[in-house]
């Protein structure tokens, strides 16, 4: 771990992430809360989340191809520049008008989601590209620590600011972090190593998906395991819609509970980032993924069955621990097993599946929650994570078969040499 910490490229990536994560994190906590607490907030936020998720589903393959075909550094710089321009413009609008209409909050929320959908998979691919295989566990662990420290700070600051200062001042902070991140990323030395074999940028939607699909079609058990490992993250994204409503209508609590949930979630994820790289070294990625999914499953079931504010806040810690621990192990597996020139499209396939699940569930929940409350929605999410754990248990057979095949190959090689 000490070697990667001494790498100046990594220090700059870490610093740029800290600035952009804190700024955008504060905004992405504040804006959903403002939408939900407005007139017809739950329905509005549900509809907005559904439409945006459909948009992200449609562009995910395009983003995957961009990541594989173009300079990852340039994509990161463009994401920071566009983020600064949009957020800065709306900060100016807020100063002029003294507030924001609902549609303006929606545009801000959409820009944040689009930023995340481009920035993080691009950073993931660039990290795999410029660092050594032996550094992946430490890399993912430290990146998780950074991300969750940023979430803790964002949650804490949002808790203090969300009901105290105007949104345009929050946007000023956000825009400043984009600008600082751009400057830092610009100074990172980078030369793209791999050129994608899929050069047809005019390919259809399904053709753009094909390379990732073909890679995983030959490895069905690996696909089952990785998609199961991706489900906790998918559910977390869905709960970004469900939990604000759960807090307001079911728990009948305020914005401070929402901020506390985000902050303790970040603390749990921070603990995962600190410990999981060492646990992976001892137990392996596969076992850590299974343990993470199991803890997430238990946390979701408790949240569903026992709508108690203090319990929800405490369980938030375990949501963060489980999701982040699973993500560190899953990312390490993907970096180790998927070629860098295919990583964008393979990862985009998982994101597309996750987005399809989110579209289906958010669309259903938008109709269900005003009628039945949040219990039925949380019950469905609990059933999905139980299924995910079972599927991951089946998919782990891939690694046993792969290990057996490797051992047999070495035995044959030794016998041949004799």
Number of compact structural domains in the chain:
1
155: Cα separation from own chain's centroid: 16
Average confidence (pLDDT) over 181-193: 83
Handedness of CA 372, 378, 381, 383 (dihedral sign): negative
CATH of the domain at 316: 1.20.1250.20
Please state, in angstroms and rounded to a whole number, the distance separating the CA atoms of residues 41 and 171: 21
Average confidence (pLDDT) over 93-120: 84
Q: Is the pLDDT of residue 379 over 90?
A: yes
Does 276 reside within a domain? yes
| Residues 265-277 pLDDT 10s | 878 888 888 888 8
Does 337 reside within a domain? yes
Does 177 reside within a domain? yes
Q: Is the pLDDT of residue 388 over 90?
A: yes
| Residues 7-38 pLDDT 10s | 788 888 888 888 877 777 777 777 877 787 77
Does 289 reside within a domain? yes
Does 197 reside within a domain? no
Scanning the structure block, which residue is given the tokens 């992405």? 28
| Residues 240-296 pLDDT 10s | 878 888 888 888 777 778 778 877 887 888 888 888 888 888 888 889 999 999 999
Nearest to 174 by CA among 233, 115, 117, 102: 115
Are the C-beta atoms of 30 and 158 separated by less than 8 Å?
Answer: yes
Does 212 reside within a domain? no
Does 416 reside within a domain? no
Q: Is the pTM of this model over 0.75?
A: no
| Residues 153-180 pLDDT 10s | 776 676 677 667 777 888 888 888 889 9
Does 320 reside within a domain? yes
Are the C-beta atoms of 358 and 53 separated by less than 8 Å?
Answer: yes
User: Which domain does 353 fall in, by range?
Assistant: 2-189+219-407
Torsion of CA 324, 326, 328, 332, to 10 degrees: -170
């Amino acid at each position: 771990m000490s070697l990667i910490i001494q790498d100046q490229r990594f220090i700059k990536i870490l610093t740029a992430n800290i600035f952009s994560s804190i700024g955008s994190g504060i905004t992405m906590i504040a804006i959903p809360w403002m939408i939900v607490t407005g007139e017809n907030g739950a329905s509005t936020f549900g509809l907005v989340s559904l439409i945006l998720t459909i948009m992200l589903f449609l562009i995910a393959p395009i983003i995957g191809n961009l990541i594989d075909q173009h300079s990852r550094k340039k994509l990161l710089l463009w994401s920071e520049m566009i983020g600064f321009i949009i957020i800065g413009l709306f900060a100016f609008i807020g100063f002029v008008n003294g507030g924001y209409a609902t549609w303006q909050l929606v545009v801000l929320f959409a820009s944040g989601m689009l930023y995340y959908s481009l920035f993080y998979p691009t950073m993931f691919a660039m990290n795999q590209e410029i660092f050594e295989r032996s550094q992946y566990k430490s890399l993912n662990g430290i990146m998780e620590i950074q991300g969750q420290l940023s979430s803790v700070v964002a949650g804490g600051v949002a808790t203090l600011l969300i009901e105290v200062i105007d949104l345009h001042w929050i946007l000023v902070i956000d825009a400043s972090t984009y600008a600082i991140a751009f400057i830092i990323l610009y100074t990172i030395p980078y030369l793209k190593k791999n050129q994608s074999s899929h050069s047809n940028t005019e390919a259809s939607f399904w053709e753009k998906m094909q390379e990732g699909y073909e890679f995983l079609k030959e490895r069905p058990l690996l696909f089952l395991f990785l998609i199961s490992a991706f489900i906790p993250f998918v559910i977390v994204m869905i709960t970004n819609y469900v939990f604000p409503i759960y807090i307001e209508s079911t728990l009948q609590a305020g914005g401070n509970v929402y901020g506390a949930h985000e902050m303790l979630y970040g603390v749990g994820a921070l603990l995962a980032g600190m410990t999981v790289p060492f646990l992976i070294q001892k137990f392996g990625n596969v076992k850590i993924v299974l343990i993470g999914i199991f803890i997430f499953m238990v946390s979701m079931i408790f949240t569903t069955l026992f709508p108690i504010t203090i319990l929800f806040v405490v369980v938030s810690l375990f949501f963060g621990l489980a999701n982040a621990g699973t993500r560190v192990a899953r990312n390490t597996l993907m970096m180790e097993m998927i070629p860098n020139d295919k990583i964008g499209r393979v990862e985009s396939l998982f994101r597309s599946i996750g987005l399809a699940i989110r579209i289906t569930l958010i669309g259903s929940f938008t109709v269900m929650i005003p009628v039945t409350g949040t219990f039925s929605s949380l019950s469905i999410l609990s059933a999905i994570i139980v299924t995910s754990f079972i599927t991951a248990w089946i998919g782990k057979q891939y690694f046993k078969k792969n290990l057996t095949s490797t051992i047999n190959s070495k035995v044959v090689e030794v016998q041949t040499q004799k």
